[in-house]
Structure 1
Amino acid sequence: MTGPVPLPPPVWDFTSARWPEDDCVAAGADLEPSTLVEAYRNGLFPMPDGGQLLWWCPLERGVLEPGRIRVSRSLRASTRRFTITVDQDFAGVVAGCADPRRPGAWIDRSIARAYQRLHEFGWAHSIEVRDDDGALVGGLYGVAVGRLFAGESMFHRVRDASKVALVALNELLESQAGSDYLVDTQWQTPHLASLGVTTVRRDEYLRRIGPLTAGQPLDWTFSTTG
């Protein structure tokens, strides 16, 4: 098993002592790998707005609990139509998520570069969904810190492809950690709620991720499935 590259100590303090009662809790800092990993360990994630780097920790956090994903009969059928790969085209998945034609697109070049670097260091991972011709038609990416997978974004170019990516992610995590993991989705949306995503209060989320992020890293060296 090859784990993530150890990172130098972070230079920024992300502890929650002075956070406001708001989803956005801080501004500034940088996107260095050690900064990002430390942020996730403390429950934050970056999202720029208006050219400013902002850090978020929602008061109501979207999470997908182990064993709670809802897979309808039609979605189960869709999982058999695609091939799943892991960490084979991280840049392609980020590009799909960053497509400026998507509503609410927020992933800029600085974010894409930062997460590509984090991927090269073994902390960020992608799930790719491919059609019969091997073309990338959907996927998701995020950051794995111990047994916490902090999802960043997902996309689809054909129906159900992003949902299939989430199903594949959960199967991967269950195969590694049983029921001792958590998928962070940042916020709950109607789309995510239909797949089983619920919410927990900020304080509960922060309490739960401590033991998870301190755990051993999972093995992301998986073979193609489909």
Structure 2
Amino acid sequence: MLSIRNLGKSYLGPGIRQVLRDISLDVARGEYVAIMGESGIGKSTLLNLVAGLEPPDTGSIRIDGCEIVGLDDDRLTRLRRQKMGFVFQAFHLLPYLTVAQNIALPLALNKVAASESGLRVTALLAAIGMKERGDSYARELSGGEMQRVAIARALAHRPQLILADEPTGNLDPASAAQVLALLREQVTTSHAAGILVTHSASAAATTDRTYVLGAGGLFPSASP
């Protein structure tokens, strides 16, 4: 589903700072991988490149056989809308929409029928422990609640590639376990490919395999 080859990314500042160097990774359908590493090493940048939110300097990214490097904005937008679910650290909920409306956004964009959309939103609200909060506005939520809603929104359209950037960072242990189970279930039941960026060893343990991103590249974790 996802094939990354020899990816590189640098940023200009006072000099040139190379964030990613020669990164290669394959993630098959139904496979869920974790990426760990120190803060600032480039984990979020890697997800942004895979999602087409910024271009790499070098290398190739193929999603479901489609090379995304070099695609124009319209084609990248359609690809993200149809095939990807991205859980951002910053949530990006729309504050003046309700929780249910936020979750339903990707379904509306993909023209899912209202009846089916309602069923999916109801099921996801229950799955994140917020079935009584569908009519609350996003601006009324706590940080942990916003994180759970962001995860539900990312999964609503049943994406084939799930990218989760520190999805449990704002959650208490019980809520974290709940959303990690939901992400794992989505990968399995939808036969999706999933990448979880995390600092948490317990979160990484819910995936099939773990990689560590360092200054020298991306390597399989030595931990069992």
| TM-score range relative to shorter protein | 0.3 to 0.5
Q: Return the TM-score normalized by structure 1.
A: 0.33
TM norm structure 2: 0.33
Structure with the higher fraction of residues in helix conformation: 2
